[in-house]
Structure 1
């Protein structure tokens, strides 16, 4: 007998719920049709389902996302970096307490206690005809962030290979749910071809019909709810082997609209505002924002960063301010609208000569109109890089807080974590640094303003 088995898969939603209802309606109809034909199907999510730039996710600290996954009847999910490193330790520890699906991640461990009961290194699914499918999963290795938050994240590929060989004799098929990115997926396929399918995510790549790598099928479903994926595999019970595996993507924008989906989206916003719209301080004047030079808002934010870190100098991009700070009662909801980014403050230790080199680089770079997507940035355009406490003369002499820079002296530069990943300043990636977790820049800014304007 040859059995057809189906996996519907989603990834990197980042709390973009625009097409959620129609995607899930489509999946439910397809699964019912397949069930009526006697074929087994499963539904999986590959992580980054939540994103705290979304008001509803922020207001419910991800619990609203878990409710959606429950209602959609997911079978297995793994966690992405947005679940893993944008939530405080206790919030992540209990995030999936009410999950009605299995949560698989094989390379994450608590530093303080036993892992939460919902966290499993693998699971084995069984079809209606008794075929056993081992599901393994791993999340991206953001070591410094996880360590600061109270978790240990181990090398994902090594863990996955170990799990695959452990489960080889227990299962007929091995499926990997990867929140590692396309490069890691390719390496895993080369090193461990006993895995049959690697569901891919994290790098938001798109494989419309999957892609074979060393006879391992790789998938990629984009981002932000663009696509719903459907994997079909054929298992020969006589030979106990897979005879076919193929994947396809459905563009969610082209799926039939579901009744009342617009009203549902509006209701999510209303619920979020109700939870977040509580006044925290009052302003007697407005603070304007600018994207191409300093503003009243950037000056206030720089004050906040100095106060929070005690750094020698400060650097950030003006585009982080999505809106201005208006006169009157200011709520958590207002602060989130201004600073929606899941970004943390980081202090980098850097010598005076290195600081001068960096200063000259960002003075010359034309990043201000960059429409950045990713690295935690959730704004419109990147904006000019602003610095506070750093000045350069016409003679190219650098001054730090009015004092001539000493080339070998180590200075503490307070900046945003997005600058430390190597995209803008590669040297920052390897410099000694301290991440200030778990508070986002909006939390730090709100707390500072509550103290300043009490």
Structure 2
């Protein structure tokens, strides 16, 4: 009988305050199982990077890759934070110094073919000759990948394509899935030859895994709150006789020496690298989630000018602090950490009126938001540019709104993902402007003042 240990992390999102402890834990586990001559594999299932953290932002994620190297990861797949939140050139060089494999079967170059740093799958041999076939898949945000110069294909089609060679070459099949729990359950139900699915994307955690058919699904939540561990027992015929999953809670993992110093070092190193002068303000730019300020006005103005639209709107909760004196690149990251892009939509006057009416809802400003790229807490009030309200009327650039006229509206992309303005926006064409984030537009606007 052979025992194989598979450790896995997912959706870490650059929460490097958890890394020293998890790094120490994984290194100890690796040493322990090696001493027992048991097999040890370590995988990350995507979204390990997130550009809210100054170290990740300053290194465009390559600093995170050094961390994975230091722990001896076997392989990773990419998540949407790697895939669509980095400019093409930065993703293309993200893994230049990786000491592990990047496995992803549904990411291609725009002209076809896999990037040099990607393999669809790989076979790993254990000491006794057990062949473990590992394949990776990521969420299919085809339009966004296309805008960045990549092609992302349907993950299920790619899985069907590559399962045939995997069946022939491997005794055990493992899927690294940055697709979400629902897709993982469907895959397990329809592809029983997959022994293990390591999941991600929807931030779910499965304390003892989930068995669907013959497949064991594992997932370790988000932000490093858990580390996953699967144990497979394989007989001499290379059949899996037993498999089980557990999670280790971060809070129950022993603290390493100098944990706080290591955490501070990540932050300060990133902050130092982002100490790039942008401007010196003659007067402060103030933040208030529940009142319009000169800072929220400035961001909304920048959004409209960048997008060259008739009007624009933002939510004040996007800004998490004020600016004064010298402004650096780090300052803009601190007050606008979201990986949110500008978006342009064409709307009739009637549709605009429905949206503006909804933005005035009394409860909306205090709504707490998680996900959608938003890294703040509350939505905040809406701030407008090229739009004003007077005597019960809506004016676009000082002209009364016409119900049948077509207007262009610039807004943060988070409002276009189906959770807001559901009566109007879901079926509209969205023109996403990538790779710039909102803080890049703010920087552009401030630099014009120099």
Aligned residue number for residue 437 of structure 1: 434
* In the alignment, structure 1 residue 287 sits paired with structure 2 residue 285: yes
- Conservation of the 8 A alpha-carbon contact between 2:297 and 2:383: no
Aligned residue number for residue 352 of structure 2: 355
- Change over 3 Å in CA distance of 1:114–1:320 after alignment to 2: same
- Conservation of the 8 A alpha-carbon contact between 1:112 and 1:150: no
What CA distance in whole angstroms lies between the structure 2 residues aligned with 1:143 and 1:409?
Answer: 31
* In the alignment, structure 1 residue 201 sits paired with structure 2 residue 200: yes
What CA distance in whole angstroms lies between the structure 2 residues aligned with 1:186 and 1:410?
Answer: 43
Question: Structure 1, residues 52-79: CA drift from partner, whole Å, max 9, x if none?
Answer: 0111100111010000000110000010
Aligned residue number for residue 79 of structure 1: 78
Query: What's the TM-score once normalised by structure 2's chain length?
Result: 0.97
Aligned residue number for residue 409 of structure 2: 413
Task: Report the CA distance between 1:409 and its aligned residue.
Answer: 2.1
- Change over 3 Å in CA distance of 1:383–1:233 after alignment to 2: same
2:309 to 311, 314, 318: 311
2:264 to 266, 273, 282: 266
Aligned residue number for residue 55 of structure 1: 54
What CA distance in whole angstroms lies between the structure 2 residues aligned with 1:242 and 1:365?
Answer: 57
What CA distance in whole angstroms lies between the structure 2 residues aligned with 1:271 and 1:217?
Answer: 40
Aligned residue number for residue 250 of structure 1: 248
Question: Structure 1, residues 402-448: CA drift from partner, whole Å, max 9, x if none?
Answer: 22222222211100011111011234232112111111111111012
SS at match of 2:279: strand
Q: What is the 5 A alignment of 1:366-385?
A: 366-385=363-382
Aligned residue number for residue 277 of structure 1: 275
Question: Structure 1, residues 244-282: CA drift from partner, whole Å, max 9, x if none?
Answer: 111100011221100011111111122112211121211
* In the alignment, structure 1 residue 171 sits paired with structure 2 residue 167: no
SS at match of 2:407: strand
- Conservation of the 8 A alpha-carbon contact between 1:15 and 1:49: yes
- Conservation of the 8 A alpha-carbon contact between 1:276 and 1:332: yes
- Conservation of the 8 A alpha-carbon contact between 2:16 and 2:266: no
Aligned residue number for residue 89 of structure 2: 90
Question: Structure 1, residues 350-392: CA drift from partner, whole Å, max 9, x if none?
Answer: 1211111122222226222223121111113221222333344
SS at match of 2:295: helix
What CA distance in whole angstroms lies between the structure 1 residues aligned with 2:280 and 2:80?
Answer: 35
SS at match of 1:316: strand
SS at match of 1:146: helix
Q: What is the 5 A alignment of 1:18-417?
A: 18-112=17-111, 115-238=114-237, 240-326=238-324, 328-364=325-361, 366-392=363-389, 395=392, 397-417=393-413
User: For structure 2, which runs of at least 5 residues remain unmatched after alignment?
Assistant: none
- Conservation of the 8 A alpha-carbon contact between 1:123 and 1:135: yes
User: For structure 1, which runs of at least 5 residues remain unmatched after alignment?
Assistant: none
- Conservation of the 8 A alpha-carbon contact between 1:157 and 1:184: no
Query: What's the TM-score once normalised by structure 1's chain length?
Result: 0.96
- Conservation of the 8 A alpha-carbon contact between 1:94 and 1:116: no
What CA distance in whole angstroms lies between the structure 2 residues aligned with 1:89 and 1:351?
Answer: 34
Task: Report the CA distance between 1:38 and its aligned residue.
Answer: 1.9
What CA distance in whole angstroms lies between the structure 1 residues aligned with 2:55 and 2:88?
Answer: 20
Task: Report the CA distance between 1:309 and its aligned residue.
Answer: 1.1
Task: Report the CA distance between 1:393 and its aligned residue.
Answer: 5.1
SS at match of 1:136: strand
